[in-house]
Chain A
Amino acid sequence: MEILDILLTASFWAAAVRIASPLIFATLGELICERAGVLNLGIEGIMVIGAFAGWMTVYLGGGLWTGVLVAMLAGMLFGLLHATLTVPFGLSQHVVGLGVTLLATVTASFAYRLSLPEVTSPPKIEPFQPFAIPGLSQVPLIGPAFFAQTPLTYLAFALIALVSIVLYRTPLGLALRAAGENPASVEAQGLSVTAIRMGAVIVGSGLMAIGGAFLTMSAFSSFFFEMVNGRGWICIALVVFGAWKPGKAALGALLFAAFDALQVRLQQTPMGAVVPYQVFLMVPYILSILALVLMSRRAEVPAALMIPFNKGER
C-alpha cells in the first residue's frame, strides 16, 4: 500500500527523473564508445573528474555553463588518453579502462587537496535551479516530473534524441556502428577505423563527465570523494540492459532511477524501521546485476567490441 502511495506522488517521479539524468548522460557516453567497438571502463573515474572539474570551475568564479564545458573537456582529455592507448596501440581495454578510472579519480583527489588543503567539509556552490516550462509543468504527475527540472536534465533528454538520430540517420552514425560491427568494411569505404573509434571514445567520455558534473552542479552543490559511488559501473550495466540502443538504455536508466527513488522513500516507511538501511542501499547494485543476468541471453553485443583493429591485418 505504501508503495502505491509513493508511486502517486509527483515528488517521487520528479526525483526519479532527477536521479536518471546523470545516468542518461553517462550511459549514452558509454553506448557511443561501445557501439564503435571500445569498452570504456574509465567511465567511473571520468564521472569523478567531471564532478570535480565542473564544481571547481564554479567555485573559482566561473559560470555554471562554463563549469559544464570544463567538465566535458576534462572528460574528453581522459577519453583521449583512453582512446590513444586502446585504439592505435590496441592495449587491453580492461586494464586501460581501470587505469584511467584510477588516474582520473586520484587526479580529482589530488587537485581537491591541493586547492583546498585546510577544509574539513567541501564548500558549496550555487547549483543549477529548476526551470519550470510554462504550461507543461502544470500537468499533474508528468508536469513536475519532466517539465520542472534543471536545464541539465532537459539537455540529457535532448541528447537521447540527438544520439539516436546521429547513430541511425546519419552517415557518421553508420560508420560508427560499422566500426563496432565490422571494422574492415569501414576501411574498405576509405574511412579510418582509428579516427572513428578515437572520436567516439573522446565524445563519449565528454558525456560521461557531464553526467558526473550533474552530481555536483545540479543534484548536490558540493564535491565528495565517494559521490559517484559506482554509478559508472551501473551505467555499463544499463548499456547492456538497453541492448546498445539509446532509447532503451535511457528507458532503463529511468526505470532504474525509479527503483532508486522508491528505495529512498521506503526507508521512511514502517518497513524501513524493520529492514536495515544498508539493504535499501544495496538495491541499485543488485538491480544492475539482475539486469545483466536478464539480458545476457538476448543482448546483441557489437561484434567487434573489445577487438582491436590493426590496419592490414585480418
Chain B
Amino acid sequence: MRLEPIANPSALRSIGLPAGALALTVLVASLLALIAGANPFATLGLILKGAAGSKFALLETLNRATPLIFTGLAVAVAFRAKLWNIGAEAQLYAGAIVTVLLGTGALPLPSALLIPGIALAAMLAGALVLLGPVLLKTRLGVDEVVTTLLFNFIMLLFVSWLLEGPMKDPMGMGWPKSPALEKAARLPRIVEGLRLHWGFALATLSALAVWVIQTRTTLGYEIRAVGLNAEAARFAGIPVGRVMVKTALLSGGLAALAGFSEVAGLKGNLTLDLSPGFGYTGIIVAMLALLNPLGVVVSAIFVAGVFVGADSMSRAAGVPTYIADILMATALLTMVLALKLTRLKVRWR
C-alpha cells in the first residue's frame, strides 16, 4: 500500500473520519461492557448520566476537567513546537509543592496578592523543572521524551520524601500529607455553595491566553515554524533553541498551574495521590483537541466527563472503572489515524 496526499480533503472526509474514530471508540466500549457481563447501552447511558445527568455531576465533571485543561494546554503548546514534554506530571507536582510552601503561612499577604503570587511562583517552578530536559535537548541533543518521563519518577520520590520529612503535617496522624493551606491562600468557589472553584475560570482564561499567543504573536508564529520544520526555521533566521526554551517555560508553567489549582482550589493540601495521571491524560486531551488551545477546554471537559461518568457507572453496573482509560487510549489512537487519513489517501497495489 502507498499513501498519497490529498490536496483538498472533502467535507465528508474531514468530518466523517474523526466521527468514525469516535464511533469505533464507542464500539470498543460496548464490547468491553459485554465482556464484563453488562448491557452496553445501559453502561454507556450510566456513564453519560454520571458525567452530566445532574447539576452535581456536571460540576464534578468541570472540577475534574480543570487540571486536565492545564496539562492539556501544556502538552498542546509543547507538541506544537515538536517539543515532546511527557513530564507534565512532574511539573504539576512542582507547582503543588510551591503552593504548599508559600500557602501555609510563609507570606503574610491578603488573598488578592497572595493567590496570584503563589500562582506565579508555581508557574516558575514548573517552568524550571522542564528547563533541565530542554537545555539537555538543545545543548547536547539528549532526547527529551525519555528525560521528561524519567523526571516524573524522580519528582514523585521527591514529593514522597517531602511528605515524610520536611513538609509532613505534624497533625497528620502519621499519614504522608502536607499541612493544609491557610484560608487566604485557598481559591474561592465561583458561586457560593457550589463545588466549582476559580481554578476552572483560570484554566479557561489560560486557554484563551495561549490561543492569543499562538495566533497573534511572533512567538506563536515561531513556535509553529519550529514545529513544522526546525531546519527551515533555522534557515529563516528563527533562533530555534531559544524558541524551544520559551516554549518549555510556557508549557512547564501551564502544567504547574494544574498542581496549584488542585491544591489551592480542591484538595487544600498535598498528598502523593494528588494527580491520578493528569500529566499523561493531558496528552490525550491535547491530541483530541488537535493541539488547539480552545479545543483543549472542550476535550478536557469531554475526557473528564468520561472519567467521572465511568466512576459512577462502575458503582452501579460493576464494570471496572478502567473502561474509561481504555476508551481514552483508544480514542487517542483512532483519532490520530483518522486525522492522518483525512489528508492522505491509501492506495492498495
Contact = CB atoms under 8 A, between A and B. Distances in A.
A94 B146 CA distance: 11
Interface string A95-136: 110111011011101100110010000000000000000000
A195 to B, nearest CB: 12
Interface in B176-193: none
Nearest to B333: A99
A113 to B, nearest CB: 4
The winner among B141, B151, B329 for most chain A CB atoms within 10 A is B329
Given A278-B157, A312-B2, A110 B141 contact: no
B326 A106 contact: yes
Interface string B13-43: 0000000000000000000100110000000
A98 B136 contact: no
Interface residues of A, number: 48
Contact of A289 (B32, B150, B329): B150
B35 A114 contact: yes
Secondary structure type dominating chain B contacts: helix
B65 interface: no
A279 B161 contact: yes
Contact of A90 (B160, B283, B322, B340): B340
Contact of B153 (A194, A285, A311): A285
B207 interface: no
A65 interface: no
B147 A91 contact: no
A114 B33 CA distance: 11
B245 interface: no
Contact of B340 (A89, A94, A103): A89
B36 A91 contact: no
A205 B5 CA distance: 30
Interface stretch (A6-14, A156-164, A173-181, A290-298): A290-298
Given A94-B84, A107-B326, A233 B333 contact: no
Nearest to B332: A99
Residue with the highest number of chain A CB atoms closer than 10 Å, among B145, B160, B323, B330 = B145
A201 to B, nearest CB: 15
B153 A229 contact: yes
Interface in B318-349: 318, 320-323, 325-326, 328-330, 332-333, 336-337, 340-341
Contacts of A272: none
Given A91-B336, A281-B157, A296 B326 contact: no
B176 to A, nearest CB: 11
A114 B321 CA distance: 10
B150 A297 contact: no
Nearest to B163: A278
B326 A110 contact: yes
A288 B143 CA distance: 12
Contacts of B160: 278
B139 to A, nearest CB: 9
A310 B151 CA distance: 35
Contacts of B142: 289, 292-293, 296
B211 interface: no
A94 B341 CA distance: 18
Given A85-B333, A99-B336, A102-B329, A113 B322 contact: yes
B140 A296 contact: yes
Interface in B276-333: 280, 283-284, 287, 318, 320-323, 325-326, 328-330, 332-333
A236 B322 contact: no
B79 to A, nearest CB: 8
B124 to A, nearest CB: 22
Contact of A103 (B147, B165, B330): B330
B149 A233 contact: yes
Nearest to B320: A113
Contacts of A103: 326, 329-330, 333
Contact of A292 (B143, B164, B287): B143
A282 interface: yes
A237 interface: yes
B329 A99 contact: yes
Contacts of B318: 117
A276 interface: yes
Given A114-B320, A289-B150, 11 more contacts: A89-B341, A98-B86, A98-B280, A99-B336, A103-B329, A106-B326, A113-B321, A237-B146, A278-B158, A293-B136, A293-B140
Q: Which 6 A-B pairs have the closest CB atoms?
A: A106-B325, A113-B320, A103-B329, A278-B161, A110-B322, A102-B329
16 contacts: A85-B336, A88-B1, A89-B340, A95-B332, A99-B332, A103-B333, A107-B326, A109-B322, A114-B36, A240-B143, A276-B164, A279-B157, A285-B151, A289-B136, A296-B141, A310-B3
Interface of B: 1-3, 32, 35-36, 84, 86, 136, 140-143, 145-147, 149-154, 157-158, 160-161, 164-165, 280, 283-284, 287, 318, 320-323, 325-326, 328-330, 332-333, 336-337, 340-341
